[in-house]
Every structure is written in C-alpha cells, then in structure tokens.
C-alpha cells in the first residue's frame, strides 16, 4: 500500500524538474494521486474514521498542494487554476488546509483577484466538513478585509467587513461553482469573540493612556490625562451596548462593529472563479 508521503513525492518531482524533466515531474504527481486514490478505495475507505484513513486523506490533500506549488513556480498560472479545480472535485482531498493553501499560492504570485477562486471552490464543496466550512468563511472575511484595506489605502474601512456581509454578497452571485454552503452559528460566534477581543485590546491601550487608535483631535488637550479622558469618552460612545438588537436570523448580533465606521458598500470583485 502507498505511504501517502507527499514530501517524498514532491522531493522526487523537484529533482526531475531540476534535471530538465519538467513534464515527467508533473506526471509523477498525477500518477501518485491516481495510485493513492486507488489504494485508499481498496484498503481504507470502509473505515474512513480510522487514523490510517485520516493520514491518507491528509497526504492526498498535501500532494495536491505540492503539485500546485511546483506548477505555480514553473508554468503559466492558468495551468495552476486547472489543478485547483481538479483538486476541489477530489472528495478525498477536501479539507480547509487544501483550499487555504491554494489561496496562499495565489497571494504569493500576486494574484489577489484569483484568490477568490479557491475560497469559492471550498465554500461550494459538498464534501467539506461544516467546521472546515466555517473556518474557510472566516478566512474569506479576512481576505476581503485585506482587499478593502489595500484598495482604501489603510483607511480603516476594512473593519466594517463582516461575515454576514460577505455571505450575503456572495450568495447573490450567479456564477458560483456549485451550491454555496452557509456558515453555522458557531462561525458567527467565533467572529463575535474576535471582535470582543479586539475591543478588549483597545480598552487596554486606553487604560494605559496610549489611545493610539483614536481619531479624535487632541490638539486642545493640555496633558496626557486630558487625552486619555477624551479617548475613553470616545470609546464609550463607540462601544455602546448593542446586545438588545436582535438579528432576524437568530444568530449572535455583530456587537460593536457598526459603531466604528460609516457604512459604505463593500467592493466585490466578480466571483467568476478565474478571470
């Protein structure tokens, strides 16, 4: 049976590529993926929850990642995109790590717009577990915050990008690669926990008299104490209690988010997989 050691296959493939046998290096990945899939079906599929089966699936996902990584280094990115799509259809490779790694490959090649492709492949995957779907949604929110900050020149508007906003915008698209999976209540709770942690850090800065995150004009403040008092006043205004605002879906409210920046439309790239 196969060892499912992706690093060993990648090492051999890179040696072939370095010796001028580029096509053969890619053939090695393809053949290994076929062999591993056959071995899994024959020997491990009946007990998919066993440790051996989990290791095998992780190895298959890692092999797809290694394949796409080498391809991105040596071939036009259009060929890498095809591998993304093939991997996204492989039920044995379906995991958060696969799609996350693919987005990182796009980022490393300065393909910000194409980064949406792997996200959407994963978020429309029928075989991705719900916990991994939730992790991918939160990472997708991080992606849009990155894009918003990049487009807005660090104005702070990225802080208004929320999971619900990204989900609602995405589900309105008509060119998705399948049925869009929804984030679970746990994903919204995790986002809220992150927001509360961020605001806790801000409160700590205020308490220490730093107040660097405040946009107030302190030109009239005569002392450090005056500045701190003014900052605390602004913080108290911004962090008003929104706990009794009920969300129509019954999911946790987006505490503290709305107060920080005026609402502006989130700019989405077309969600066509690869433009």
pLDDT tens string 60-106: 999 999 999 999 999 999 999 999 999 999 999 999 999 999 999 99
Number of domains the chain contains: 2
| C-alpha–C-alpha distance, residues 74 and 208, integer Å | 51
Residue 115 forms part of a structural domain: no
CA angle 80, 83, 84 (to 5 degrees): 90
Domain holding 12, by residue range, is 1-93
- CB neighbours of residue 204 within 10 Å: 10
Q: What is the pLDDT along the chain (275 residues), one digit of tens a residue?
A: 789 999 999 999 999 999 999 999 999 999 999 999 999 999 999 999 999 999 999 999 999 999 999 999 999 999 999 999 999 999 999 999 999 999 999 999 999 889 999 999 999 999 999 999 999 999 999 999 988 888 877 666 777 889 999 999 999 987 888 899 999 999 999 999 988 887 777 667 677 765 555 444 444 444 544 444 444 444 343 333 333 333 333 333 333 222 222 233 334 444 333 32
Residues with Cβ within 8 Å of residue 166, at least 6 apart in sequence? 137, 140, 141, 144, 266
Out of 78, 93, 108, a domain closes at: 93
Residue 100 forms part of a structural domain: no
Out of 59, 74, 93, a domain closes at: 93
Residue 230 forms part of a structural domain: yes
State how far the alpha carbon of 207 is from the alpha carbons of 194, 220, 222, 224, 238, in Å. Answer: 20, 20, 18, 12, 16
Out of 77, 93, 109, a domain closes at: 93
| C-alpha–C-alpha distance, residues 214 and 227, integer Å | 10
3 state DSSP class of 190: helix
């Amino acid at each position: 049976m196969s060892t499912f050691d992706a690093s060993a296959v990648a090492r051999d493939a890179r040696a072939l590529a370095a010796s001028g046998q580029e096509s053969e290096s890619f053939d090695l990945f393809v053949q290994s993926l076929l062999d591993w899939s056959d071995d899994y079906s024959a020997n491990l599929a009946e007990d998919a929850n066993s440790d051996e089966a989990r290791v095998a699936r992780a190895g298959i996902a890692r092999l797809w990642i290694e394949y796409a990584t080498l391809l991105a280094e040596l071939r036009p990115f259009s060929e890498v995109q095809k591998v993304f799509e093939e991997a996204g259809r492989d039920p044995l490779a379906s995991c958060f790590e696969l799609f996350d790694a693919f987005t990182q490959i796009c980022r490393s090649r300065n393909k910000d717009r194409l980064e949406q492709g792997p996200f959407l492949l994963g978020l429309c995957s029928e075989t991705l577990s719900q916990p991994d779907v939730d992790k991918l949604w939160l990472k997708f929110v991080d992606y849009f915050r990155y894009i918003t900050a990049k487009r807005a020149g660090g104005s702070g508007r990225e802080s208004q990008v929320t999971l619900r906003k990204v989900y609602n915008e995405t589900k309105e698209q008509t060119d998705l690669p399948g049925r869009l999976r929804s984030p679970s209540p746990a994903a919204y709770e995790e986002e809220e926990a992150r927001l509360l942690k961020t605001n806790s850090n801000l409160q700590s800065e205020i308490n220490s008299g730093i107040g660097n995150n405040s946009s107030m004009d302190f030109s009239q403040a005569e002392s450090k104490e005056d500045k701190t008092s003014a900052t605390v006043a602004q913080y108290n205004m911004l962090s008003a209690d929104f706990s009794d605002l009920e969300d129509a879906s019954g999911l946790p409210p987006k505490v503290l988010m709305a107060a920080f920046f005026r609402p502006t439309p989130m700019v989405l790239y077309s969600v066509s997989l690869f433009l």
